[in-house]
Amino acid sequence: MNQEKPTNPSRKREGDFATREALVATASESIARGSKSFAMASRLFDRVTRERAWLLYAWCRKCDDLADGQDYGGVMNTHHAEVEAAFEEIRSKTESALVGETVGDPAFDALGIVVRECAIPHHLPRDLVQGFAMDAAEWRPRTEQDLLTYCYHVAGVVGVMMAIVMGVDPDDQDTLDRACDLGLAFQLANIARDISEDAAGGRCYLPQDWLTELDISPGEEMKPHFRKRLAVIAKWLAEMAADYEASARVGAAKLPFRARWAVLAAAGIYGDIAREVRAKGEHAWDHRVYTSKAAKIGWVMKALGQAMAKPGKDVSREGLWTRGR
């Protein structure tokens, strides 16, 4: 696959650099609005890595909002024709960005910059786009493996790209698998937390096999008499998230210090979402679960100590889902 070499921003022409600066500023605003958790963790990166992480995030956020018909959250778009039109916009603008065209949309132009600067293999952004295609097709998982495949396409691949942004060699597949694990952990936590919100938008990411096992009727997950059974599924999701988080922490040891610190902080912050959903049981969806600012700051401090410590005992990936390469 032919790709452009990474670009050194300091060697850009003045006009191009001004454009890059503007895109970084827009991306910074995007992450501040879209994810306070990631915004806080990203501050721990060195400047260049932080800017590139923001640029990649801005594209991911824009694609997600286009797919859901949202603007940084809100009620999801459920009109099939509009969802398909949104996906086609995502696909075409992404392809334009990957071949170096100026799209005229800050989020997609941000993707073009970070792909060129970090030599991100083009199949990775395309894997994320495939996740949006799955949503556009109103895809539903039948098995646990289906669920994890979906989690890869909407989050695991983001972990892989972020690892490359942090300096991981695109050929270091073992470390990238660990980075993918962190994305899987995040998405599993999100699915557990957002069961009620997804149901309101006509979506369900719970495997049909699980629903059948617990005798939960499809489309009726949020009925009061199913709450206790749904709490069992939330427990399964939280346990899976914990396994993938533990694996990802092993991979973090291979990152530069500041990147390692940021990743460990993010792992703790998002991990708390899964842990809180599990702890609340059938009341997990009474109010949206989130990590408080104080808890986030606590994880930043705790992660500093973890990043400075010697790597702990290795955690095997045996039995964990593995992406295709």
- Does residue 10 register a pLDDT over 50? no
Structure tokens at 97: 């960005």
Q: Each residue of 109-161: pLDDT tens digit?
A: 999 999 999 999 999 999 999 999 998 888 999 999 999 999 999 999 999 99
Q: What pLDDT, on a 0 to 100 scale, did the predictor assign at position 60?
A: 94
Backbone angles phi, psi at 61, to 5 degrees: -65, -45
Between 16-20, 218-222, 302-306, the lowest mean confidence (pLDDT) is in 16-20
Structure pTM?
A: 0.89
In this structure, the dihedral spanned by the alpha carbons of residues 283, 64, 111 and 22, taken in order and rounded to 10 degrees, is -90
Over the chain, what is the mean pLDDT? 89
Answer whether 150's CB lies under 8 Å from 136's CB. Answer: no
Structure tokens at 72: 């940084």
- Does residue 40 register a pLDDT over 80? yes
Q: What pLDDT, on a 0 to 100 scale, did the predictor assign at position 217?
A: 87
Q: How many CA atoms lie within 13 A of 221 on its CB side?
A: 27
Domains defined along the chain, listed by start:
10-122 (no CATH), 140-308 (1.10.600.10)
Between 2-6, 10-14, 167-171, 175-179, the lowest mean confidence (pLDDT) is in 10-14
Answer whether 236's CB lies under 8 Å from 210's CB. Answer: yes
Q: Each residue of 253-262: pLDDT tens digit?
A: 999 999 999 9
317/175 Cα distance (integer angstroms): 11
Between 26-35, 49-58, 141-150, 189-198, the lowest mean confidence (pLDDT) is in 26-35
Query: Could you tell me the maximum CA-CA distance found in the chain, to the nearest angstrom?
Result: 63
Q: What pLDDT, on a 0 to 100 scale, did the predictor assign at position 78?
A: 53
Query: Quick one: pLDDT band at residue 201, thresholds 50, 70, 90?
Result: confident
Q: What pLDDT, on a 0 to 100 scale, did the predictor assign at position 79?
A: 65
Q: Each residue of 248-294: pLDDT tens digit?
A: 999 999 999 999 999 999 999 999 999 999 999 999 999 999 999 99
Answer whether 117's CB lies under 8 Å from 97's CB. Answer: no
Q: What pLDDT, on a 0 to 100 scale, did the predictor assign at position 7?
A: 43
Answer whether 14's CB lies under 8 Å from 136's CB. Answer: no
Q: What pLDDT, on a 0 to 100 scale, did the predictor assign at position 89?
A: 94
Structure tokens at 61: 């956020």
- Does residue 313 register a pLDDT over 70? yes
Q: How many CA atoms lie within 13 A of 178 on its CB side?
A: 22
Helix axes 257-280, 227-252, angle to 10 degrees: 170
Q: How many other C-beta atoms are found inside a 10 Å radius of the C-beta of residue 130?
A: 17
Q: How many residues does the chain have?
A: 325
Q: Each residue of 56-91: pLDDT tens digit?
A: 999 999 999 898 775 555 545 556 678 788 899 999
Query: Quick one: pLDDT band at residue 165, thresholds 50, 70, 90?
Result: very high
Mean pLDDT of 190-205: 91
Mean pLDDT of 165-187: 97
